[in-house]
Structure 1
Amino acid sequence: MDYAGLAETAAEKMELYRRDPDGWRGCRRTNEVAVSWRPSKEFAGSLYRAEGTLLASPQDVWECIKPVAGGSRTKWDQNVKDFEVIEAVSDTASVCRTTTPSAFMRIISPREFVDVVLMKQYEDGTMLSAATNVEHPLCPPQPNLVRGFNYPCGCFCVPCPGEPKRTQLLSFFQTDLGGYLPQSVVDSFFPANIATFYSNLTKALKTLKA
């Protein structure tokens, strides 16, 4: 399987989503984030866009969110129970497995996701983490977990010009949770979950600065 090629394609799609203003409909707004959605072209679900400005440097934000083994995500992100690198494909791409705890008052049972993840830095200092689902021989489905599927998704950490302690975090989520969940549960879960992600990240950054 061309893991590197799939990772690059996911990054290209993220860049397309970032530049495409059409069809987004607002569904949730908090002090930290504005969330909007539109139908996904990848699967029979929704693509979510989340945008918020964080009072921290891009490097600090990146340290909190970057998808690496032993990173801080498992400490502050309530949706990440475990994160492991299955295969390093290149200096910038790796196949990873993420397990998530039960959620939404346990209506959503624990899940696992196997993705190829690409990390990339742009000339303007923007950092991108992009991912999409893959199969891997070292990661057969676990009998005690539901296998979910991420379609091209990830985060842009964008510096705010002239403001080194501010970062725009632009995120895209499009996930098939798998299993047999009512659509109403899925539609309620994601906007609330994304808002919680930004809220918990804001708290983690404050702890980092303390």
Structure 2
Amino acid sequence: MDYVGLAESAAEKMRLYRQDPSGWRVCQSTGEVSVSWRPSAEFAGNVYRAEGVVPADPQEVWECIKPVAGGRRTKWDKTVKDFEVVEAISDTVSVCRTTTPSAFVKIISPREFVDVVLIEQCEDGTMLSAATNVEHPLCPPQPNFVRGFNYPCGCFCIPIPGEPDRTQLLSFFQTDLGGYLPQTMVDSFFPASIAGFYSNLTKAVKAFKA
């Protein structure tokens, strides 16, 4: 499997989503984030766009969200139970397995996701992580988890000129949770989950700075 090619393709789609303002409809807005959606071209669901400003410098924000083994994400993100690197393909590309706890008052059972992940630093200081689902021989489906699938997704940690202690975080979520969940439940779960992600990230950044 061409893991590098798949990762680079996911990153390219992130850049295209970032540049394309058309068709997004706001579905949730808080003081920390605006979440919008449009139908996905990848699967029979939605792609979500989330944009907010985190009160910390880009490196501090990146440390909290970067997809690495033993990173800070599992310490603060309630939607991530475990994160492991299955195989490091290169310095910037790896195959990873993420497990999530039950959610939505345990109606959504624990999930697992196997993705190829790319990390990239852009010339303007923006950090990008992009991912998409893959299969890997070391990650057969686990009996206690429903296998979900992330389609091209990721986030941009963007410096704000003249404001070194603030970071624009632009994220795209595009997930098939798998299983047999009513679409209305999925459509209400994601915006609330994304808003919670931004809120918890803001708290985590402050806690790690303290």
In 2: Cα distance, 1:123 partner to 1:14 partner? 16
Residue 76 of structure 1: aligned partner = 76
Residue 196 of structure 1: aligned partner = 196
Structure 1: runs of 5 or more not aligned: none
In 2: Cα distance, 1:7 partner to 1:152 partner? 9
Residue 167 of structure 1: aligned partner = 167
In 2: Cα distance, 1:208 partner to 1:161 partner? 23
Equivalent residues in 2 for 1:114-129, closer than 5 Å: 114-129=114-129
Residue 99 of structure 1: aligned partner = 99
What is the root-mean-square deviation in Å for CA atoms of aligned residues?
0.4
In 2: Cα distance, 1:21 partner to 1:34 partner? 14
Q: How many pairs does the alignment contain? A: 210
Residue 4 of structure 1: aligned partner = 4
Residue 18 of structure 1: aligned partner = 18
In 2: Cα distance, 1:207 partner to 1:107 partner? 31
- 1:143 deviates by 1.0
Question: Tell me, what secondary structure is at the counterpart of 1:187?
Answer: helix
One-letter amino acid of the counterpart of residue 204, structure 2: A
One-letter amino acid of the counterpart of residue 153, structure 1: C
Equivalent residues in 2 for 1:145-160, closer than 5 Å: 145-160=145-160
| TM-score normalised per structure 2 | 1.00
Q: Give every structure 1 segment of 4 or more consecutive aligned residues whose post-TM-superposition deviation is greater than 4 Å.
A: none
In 2: Cα distance, 1:67 partner to 1:79 partner? 14
In 2: Cα distance, 1:163 partner to 1:23 partner? 30
One-letter amino acid of the counterpart of residue 147, structure 1: R
Residue 35 of structure 1: aligned partner = 35
One-letter amino acid of the counterpart of residue 81, structure 2: K
In 1: Cα distance, 2:144 partner to 2:61 partner? 33
One-letter amino acid of the counterpart of residue 176, structure 1: D
One-letter amino acid of the counterpart of residue 7, structure 2: A
1:137-173 deviations in Å (ceiling 9; x for gaps):
0000001100000000011000000111110000000
In 2: Cα distance, 1:122 partner to 1:92 partner? 13
Residue 60 of structure 1: aligned partner = 60
1:153-209 deviations in Å (ceiling 9; x for gaps):
011000000111110000000000000000111000000000000000000011012
One-letter amino acid of the counterpart of residue 52, structure 1: G
One-letter amino acid of the counterpart of residue 50, structure 1: A
- 1:87 deviates by 0.3
In 2: Cα distance, 1:182 partner to 1:123 partner? 43
- 1:125 deviates by 0.1
In 1: Cα distance, 2:109 partner to 2:149 partner? 15
Percent identity, aligned pairs only, is 81
